[in-house]
Amino acid sequence: MESIRKTSEFDQRDWRMLLGDIAQGLVVPVIGGELLTVSIDGQKKPLYEYLAECLAERLQVEHLPKPSTISDVVHAYLQDGKNPIRTPYFEIWDILRDLNCEPPEPLCQLAAIPGFTMFITTTCDNLMRQAVDKVRFGGNPTALQLSFNRSAASDDLPPDFNGAPPVVYHVFGQAANLPTYVATDDDMLNFGRLWQDERHQPRAISSFLRDKFLMVLGCSFENWLSRFFLCALKGDMLFAEKNRCGILADTRSRHDEQLTLFLSRRMGPVYSAGGAEEFISELLERWKEYAPESMNWSSTSPSGGKAPEPYLGDEFVRGSIFISYASEDSTCALALEEQLRQVGLDVWLDKHKLGAGADYRRLIFHNIEHCSLFIPIISHHVETVAERRYFRMEWEHAAEEKKMRSPIAQFIRPVVIDDTRPSVMIHEEINKCTWVALEDNRLPQSFITHCRESIRQQRREEEYAR
């Protein structure tokens, strides 16, 4: 360990305590944008400076400070009261969707330490999940990605969560084509307020964090915002007498004497030998000495061998028909799929009901965005009240996708399988569409002809675009 820099503030006892806490699963890393330096066109760039540059170019916003933040760009764009609020959020999501880069090394180093079963990220990208999947699961999408949402029910931990698979939680939301995540400083304050509101707070995650130590890395918040953020996550536990809540490492905080004093009283030591990247590098080296056997991921997977590949659904053919259904209607959905396949049409539906998390959402959203026709199956089963149902998420995304399609295209074609009628219990956009009823439990021939033409039209347009 002679090559590793030591600090007087973060001393050997602190390191021993931290390693022991990690081994017991008591530490949760909190990831900030300072750790996200990526390679773009052969050059290393801070991801969120790059996003701000791309966003300013797309929105045609000029005369900004250098370097600009995403918040700077969004506020400048929205100064013109005529500009739609949704647009910058959509563009950020679209830029990230097209981003093709490897997860940064500091994130991979954190993912290599098996004591971490949950990662909290303050950014809206997928890089932390990619790092966990790359290091622990050979690149297979396995980590569960969840997010806080200011406009709908937020994701929460599964009732039987035991650390497998590991969780990446977006405390400020995950990039989406709607303004449901943090892009501005105002958004961040709003999310912090909502997090402390019991009606919005994900209870299982809040309970999980209550007795955990937070390892806040690379967030570099302003003094007041650091205090606000930590209070939101830890609640009254931050002010419990003699309660050690965690540590902090970034480039800003160690130079802020007042914040350092506050954190030393209420949270724990501040790492002053460098920024978050230096801390993570030192942490990994110390962990290798502390528990060298834990670094062999093949021996720590649940099966004792290579981590199993997760099921990601049947292969999706671009331009397929997407069938969305409540699980109670699976028999009918499979019968309709078979009827369409018999006449040579490509069909996709989630036969295995993949479940919650961003792996599910990423797959579902991709397939909806690239399908030629979206068929929601309507029955009295879709009029449930209290339950959280994943078909509603599919319907919502299809309604958004419809806005991007030609106004003359009938992208959504509901199929009703019983005597259900349009009602307030069914998505407004679904109610507006023309419903198709079965004839002797089969799709009418006219509808099948429409399906075939929709697929042809979609593929003609894609061929023309190429």
Contact 336, 321 (CB under 8 A): no
Note the pLDDT tens digit of each residue in 26-42.
889 999 888 998 888 88
Nearest alpha-carbon partner for 103 in 155, 35, 157, 178: 35
* Average pLDDT in the chain: 79
Nearest alpha-carbon partner for 92 in 52, 33, 123, 152: 52
Q: How confident is the model at residue 91 (pLDDT cuts 50, 70, 90)?
A: very high
Using only C-alpha atoms, what is the Rg of the chain? 24
Higher pLDDT: 215 or 241? It is 215
Supply angle C-alpha 248, 24, 228, rounded to 5: 30
User: Which pLDDT score is estimated for 237?
Assistant: 43
Note the pLDDT tens digit of each residue in 390-419.
788 899 999 999 988 887 788 999 999 999
Q: What's the number of CA atoms in the CB half-sphere (13 Å) around residue 434?
A: 6
Identity of the amino acid at 49: E
Q: How confident is the model at residue 243 (pLDDT cuts 50, 70, 90)?
A: very low
Contact 177, 94 (CB under 8 A): yes
User: Which pLDDT score is estimated for 410?
Assistant: 87
Whether 311 shows a pLDDT value over 90: the answer reads no
Task: Report how far residue 360's alpha carbon sits from residue 358's, in angstroms, rounded to the nearest whole number.
Answer: 5
Contact 143, 132 (CB under 8 A): yes
User: Which pLDDT score is estimated for 462?
Assistant: 61
Q: Which helix (H) or strand (E) holds 120?
A: strand 118-121
User: Which pLDDT score is estimated for 422?
Assistant: 92
Q: Percent of the chain, pLDDT > 70?
A: 76
Which pair of structure tokens corresponds to residue 119? Answer: 């990662």
Whether 358 shows a pLDDT value over 80: the answer reads no
Domains of the chain listed by start with CATH number? 12-36+104-300 (3.40.50), 321-465 (3.40.50.10140)
Whether 87 shows a pLDDT value over 60: the answer reads yes
Task: Report how far residue 309's alpha carbon sits from residue 303's, in angstroms, rounded to the nearest whole number.
Answer: 12
| From 141-155, 200-214, 225-239, the region with the lowest mean pLDDT | 225-239
Nearest alpha-carbon partner for 229 in 437, 238, 452: 238
**Which of 160-169, 272-281, 434-443 reaches the highest mean pLDDT?**
434-443
Task: Report how far residue 327's alpha carbon sits from residue 30's, in angstroms, rounded to the nearest whole number.
Answer: 36
Query: Which residues make beta-bridge pairs with 267?
Result: none
Mean pLDDT over 1-14 rounds to: 51
Whether 260 shows a pLDDT value over 80: the answer reads no
Which pair of structure tokens corresponds to residue 96? Answer: 């990230």
Q: How confident is the model at residue 186 (pLDDT cuts 50, 70, 90)?
A: confident
User: Which pLDDT score is estimated for 165?
Assistant: 85
Mean pLDDT over 359-382 rounds to: 86
User: Which pLDDT score is estimated for 112?
Assistant: 93
Q: How confident is the model at residue 431 (pLDDT cuts 50, 70, 90)?
A: very high
Mean pLDDT over 203-216 rounds to: 81
Whether 70 shows a pLDDT value over 80: the answer reads yes
Question: Directed axis angle between helix 86-98 and helix 47-59, to 10°?
Answer: 130
Task: Identify the three-state secondary structure at position 414.
Answer: coil
Query: Could you tell me how many residues make up the chain?
Result: 466
Task: Report how far residue 334's alpha carbon sits from residue 276's, in angstroms, rounded to the nearest whole number.
Answer: 51
**Residue located via tokens 């002010």:** 239
Contact 145, 357 (CB under 8 A): yes
Whether 450 shows a pLDDT value over 70: the answer reads yes
Task: Report how far residue 412's alpha carbon sits from residue 377's, in angstroms, rounded to the nearest whole number.
Answer: 11
Task: Identify the three-state secondary structure at position 412.
Answer: strand
Whether 245 shows a pLDDT value over 90: the answer reads no
Q: How confident is the model at residue 65 (pLDDT cuts 50, 70, 90)?
A: confident
Contact 233, 45 (CB under 8 A): no
Whether 99 shows a pLDDT value over 90: the answer reads no
Burial class (CB in 10 A: 0-12, 13-18, 19+), 361: buried
Residues 6+ apart with CB under 8 A from 123: 31, 32, 33, 36, 47, 48, 170, 172
Dihedral of CA atoms 130, 250, 8, 261 in degrees, nearest 10, equals -130
Look at the pTM and tell me if it is higher than 0.85.
no
User: Which pLDDT score is estimated for 444?
Assistant: 93
Contact 379, 417 (CB under 8 A): yes
Contact 310, 359 (CB under 8 A): yes
Mean pLDDT over 302-306 rounds to: 36
Higher pLDDT: 348 or 237? It is 348
Whether 359 shows a pLDDT value over 50: the answer reads yes
Contact 398, 369 (CB under 8 A): no
Task: Report how far residue 215's alpha carbon sits from residue 248's, in angstroms, rounded to the nearest whole number.
Answer: 6
User: Which pLDDT score is estimated for 310?
Assistant: 40
Q: How confident is the model at residue 51 (pLDDT cuts 50, 70, 90)?
A: very high
Q: How confident is the model at residue 63 (pLDDT cuts 50, 70, 90)?
A: confident
Which pair of structure tokens corresponds to residue 464? Answer: 């023309």
